Amino acid sequence: MNNTVLILINILAMAAIIYTLMFLKKRNFSFTFRVILAMVVGIVFGAALQIIYGASSDIVVESNSWFSIVGTGYVRLLRMIVIPLIFVSITSAIINQESKNLGKMATQIILILVITTAISAFVGAMTSNAFNLTAKGLYSGEIETQAGESLEESLEEYQSRPIQEQIVEIIPINPFYSMTGQGNSATLSVVVFAAFVAIAAIGIRSIKPESSKLFADLIKALNDVVMRMVTMILRLTPYGVLALMTRMVSTSNFKDILRLINFVIASYVALIIVFIIHLLLLLAFGINPGIYLKKSATALMFAFSSRSSAGTLPINIQTQIDKFGVSPGQANLSASLGTSIGQNGCAGVYPAMLAVMIAPTVGIDPMDPTFLIKLIVITAIASFGIAGVGGGATFAALTVLSSMGLPVGLVGLLIAIEPLIDMGRTLVNVSDSMVAGLISSKLMNELDLERYNSKVSKNVEEG
């Protein structure tokens, strides 16, 4: 049987699975159930493709190029709606004065994100030590060596821009350029621009009430249209998750994963501990963590499968508003800021684990209190300092390791398992942003507890 026929069989198999998911929708199976089922089936289907053909075979590569129409296409749709969603939602929230203390709300959210990152760094360091992880003796192949050299070059470029410049760059010179999604600080730049537009609209209420009302009505109409678009896109989530998981599993190099299996296991242990801490924080503030687990499942599962905090942003925001009862202003701020500031998985757990692994190679005791305190403080600060810089976990690791005086090139040794651990890191990042929105809402007495505690919540399948 030639390759073309085999590829066609794989495509038909994917089409059959998608049809089954559509059939389950017609039979009124819940949205969350179909998302989780799609993830499980994607894992099984991807594993079967790899076992039958091999991860690097032409058949798997070509099959995934067709699957990407669904998977990558879905992620692109989500990214398409991110900037319009942030702009109209934040502008609308401020104009409607859904939160009278915008500055206080933003400060609370940022503090929660940064503090939880410091906690995550401590968890990462302790877990790395408990598993006795070290960079000593790790095999360094050609790919890892090249990755290390590339990281060294990235560090030089990154260090050439002082943190003050990186923070100032959040203020957009050309807001319309930022609204195209271009640039390292596009998301935060749009947040800043939307806030200024909304404040200006409020400022002309007394001198030009007709213009102010006209603009407010326009923003409301845009917000309604954008939210409808979000609902339309989110209905495709089960199919997107299916294709994304199939591709990830079918193309993973399990030999490299097994070589670094201790780091993979330790990473997930640390991430699970941080996630449990999120639940304990909710409990401490009188928010039922069991309900959080149930209602956040769809957003967290997509974050896990897509490995994109930005791509998960529309689902994050809608989950907070429709299921948790968080106000649109707080939901948008926590979700938007959470894509760049205080990412618990990428900017907390990951760089701390690497620092503890690498420290012994340069003669440093990673459990020395001075080293640990410095590591936690630098990690927390770095999680905020890289707000205007793209690169996620890589730039967080570069910043922390270089600040600790550790060689950054060794990060290249873990390049083979990046996709696998990045799934868990992204889930924890998104969870932290939702927890920040919930806690901030509760502190400001703006959380709709009746909606949060209700068994029935608004579903993307409605309307």
From residue 438, how far is each of 281, 322, 443 by CA, in Å? 10, 13, 9
- Are 352 and 379 in contact, with CB atoms under 8 Å apart? yes
Nearest to 48 by CA among 303, 258, 245: 245
Regarding predicted confidence, which is higher, 416 or 143? 416
**The pLDDT of residue 248:** 84
Q: Which of the residue ranges 96-100, 138-142, 445-449 has the most confident prediction, judged by mean pLDDT?
A: 445-449
* Side-chain-facing half-sphere of 294: CA atoms under 13 Å: 13
pLDDT for 390 beyond 50: no
| Residue 52 included in any domain | yes
Could you tell me if residue 459 is inside a domain?
no
For residue 100, give every residue at least 6 positions away whose Cβ sits within 8 Å of its Cβ, in sequence order, or none. Answer: none
Residue 367: count of CB within 10 angstroms of its CB:
12
8 Å CB contact between 428 and 345: yes
Range of the domain at 135: 3-453
Backbone dihedral angles phi then psi of residue 204, each to the nearest 5 degrees = -100, 10
For the residues 36-60, what does the mean pLDDT come to?
A: 90
| Residue 461 covered by a domain | no
458 lies in a domain? no
237 has pLDDT over 80 = yes
Report if pTM > 0.75: yes
Average pLDDT over residues 318-338: 88
> Is residue 460 a part of any domain in this protein?
no
Q: What is the CATH number of the domain that holds 8?
A: 1.10.3860.10
Top mean-pLDDT range of 147-156, 234-243, 274-283, 351-360: 274-283
For residue 71, pLDDT over 50 is answered with yes
Q: State the Cα–Cα distance between residues 305 and 371, nearest whole angstrom.
A: 35
Residue-wise pLDDT for 142-154, tens only, equals: 444 444 555 555 5
What's the CA gap between 185 and 336, in Å, rounded? Answer: 11
Average pLDDT over residues 426-455: 92
In a domain, 132, yes or no: yes
Q: Which two tokens stand for residue 425?
A: 């890191």
Confirm whether 462 is domain-assigned. no
CB 283 within 8 A of CB 437: no
Count of domains forming the chain: 1
364 CB burial (10 A radius; 0-12, 13-18, 19+): middle
Residue 345 lies in a domain: yes
Least Cα distance to 326 among 443, 441, 432 occurs for 441
Q: Which residue has the higher pLDDT, 406 or 354?
A: 354
Residue-level pLDDT at 136 = 65
Selected residue with higher pLDDT from 406 and 452: 452
Q: What angle do CA 365, 369, 374 make, to 5 degrees?
A: 95
Tell me the percentage of the chain whose pLDDT exceeds 70.
84
Q: Secondary structure of the chain in the HEC alphabet?
A: CCHHHHHHHHHHHHHHHHHHHHHHHHCCCCHHHHHHHHHHHHHHHHHHHHHHHCCCCHHHHHHHHHHHHHHHHHHHHHHHHHHHHHHHHHHHHHHCCCCCCHHHHHHHHHHHHHHHHHHHHHHHHHHHHHCCCCCCCCCCCHHHHHHHHHHHHHHHHHHCCCHHHHHHCCCCCCHHHHCCCCCCCHHHHHHHHHHHHHHHHHHCCCCCHHHHHHHHHHHHHHHHHHHHHHHHHHCCHHHHHHHHHHHHHHHCCHHHHHHCHHHHHHHHHHHHHHHHHHHHHHHHCCCCHHHHHHHCHHHHHHHHHHCCHHHHHHHHHHHHHHHHCCCHHHHHHHHHHHCCCCCHHHHHHHHHHHHHHHHHHHCCCCCCHHHHHHHHHHHHHHHHHCCCCCCCHHHHHHHHHHHCCCCHHHHHHHHHHHHHHHHHHHHHHHHHHHHHHHHHHHHCCCCCHHHHHCCCCCCCCCC
Please list, in sequence order, all residues whose beta carbon lies within 8 angstroms of the beta carbon of residue 64, skipping any fewer than 6 positions away. 246, 247, 250, 251
Q: Which residues contact 126 (CB under 8 A, 6 or more apart)?
A: none
Which of 68-72, 114-118, 138-142, 342-346 has the least mean pLDDT? 138-142
